[in-house]
Structure 1
């Protein structure tokens, strides 16, 4: 691969495409896990202590709340997939992804034993904190896709 071809390949939104398909994979796999009892049970302390999500168990039941989250995750994955060709759909799916990861990051502050008391508390992660902390990177990736969608839509409307 010569330098010109490599430069064009690297400057052609490679990181956006990689982020998009990585998020699709994550939403698809996590959405899949929501259909099983082990995941529904694992969500109990996270949802029960969240001011944003605690209503889900009373509205849908334990497994129903898990199903609802799975459907939401699969919907976002589908939107991100289709959004690879349709910037407006990418915009909506990316915004939903941003909201998802903002919401899951709040669970760090509302889930009991988020910081390991035996190690002095913060910054020693306990329970689900280390699992949830990765959502900070996924939030930034979602924001990148959102920004890219907005810029693509603006470029498209400027040339139309």
Structure 2
């Protein structure tokens, strides 16, 4: 009986389904937060010091930049959700998710105070680093979905 369960587990795509659902929830929750002032203000040091994102404050203002990120997160979440029915839309969501987490991981290097000096600096995390480092796992999950949603090889 255990061998049958194990074989079924190994052949299933439950891991991909769970990863897709988890990323949909994460994008929904974080996208929702972007519509509130506390989140917009919390993003100021992250966006303001980022060579990739600092233009957003100049272009949209503090709240507008937060709104734009929220729209992007909801869009990627919806595309990932659509991936349950359409691999093509899921692929677009996985690409957006991958770019999102590659971008947020760069914030570790551009945000001042990333490493705790009283503990000797790197690898002692400080400030937003302990929050951002989890994006490494989310990037890995995004790559799993990217691989799952790529068109099948033509023989």
Structure-1-length-normalised TM-score: 0.92
Q: Structure 1 residue 85: deviation in Å?
A: 1.1
- 1:94 and 2:94 matched: yes
Q: 2 CA distance for matches of 1:9 and 1:62?
A: 47
Q: Structure 1 residue 3: deviation in Å?
A: 4.5
In the other structure, the counterpart of 1:73 is: 73
Q: Structure 1 residue 4: deviation in Å?
A: 3.3
Instruction: Report matched runs for 1:3-152 at 5 Å.
Output: 3-4=3-4, 7-150=7-150
Q: 2 CA distance for matches of 1:13 and 1:37?
A: 39
Q: 1 CA distance for matches of 2:4 and 2:105?
A: 41
SS in 1 for 2:152: helix
Q: 2 CA distance for matches of 1:105 and 1:54?
A: 15
SS in 1 for 2:123: coil
Q: Structure 1 residue 108: deviation in Å?
A: 0.1
User: 4+ residue stretches of structure 1 with deviation over 3 A?
Assistant: 1-6
> Is there any run of 5+ residues in structure 2 with no aligned partner, and where?
none
| Matched length | 155
Q: Structure 1 residue 32: deviation in Å?
A: 0.4
In the other structure, the counterpart of 2:152 is: 154
Q: Structure 1 residue 7: deviation in Å?
A: 2.7
1:80-110 deviation per Cα after TM superposition (whole angstroms, max 9, x unaligned): 0001110011111101100000000000000
Q: Structure 1 residue 11: deviation in Å?
A: 1.9
Q: 1 CA distance for matches of 2:47 and 2:4?
A: 51
Q: Structure 1 residue 10: deviation in Å?
A: 4.5
Structure-2-length-normalised TM-score: 0.94
> Is there any run of 5+ residues in structure 1 with no aligned partner, and where?
none
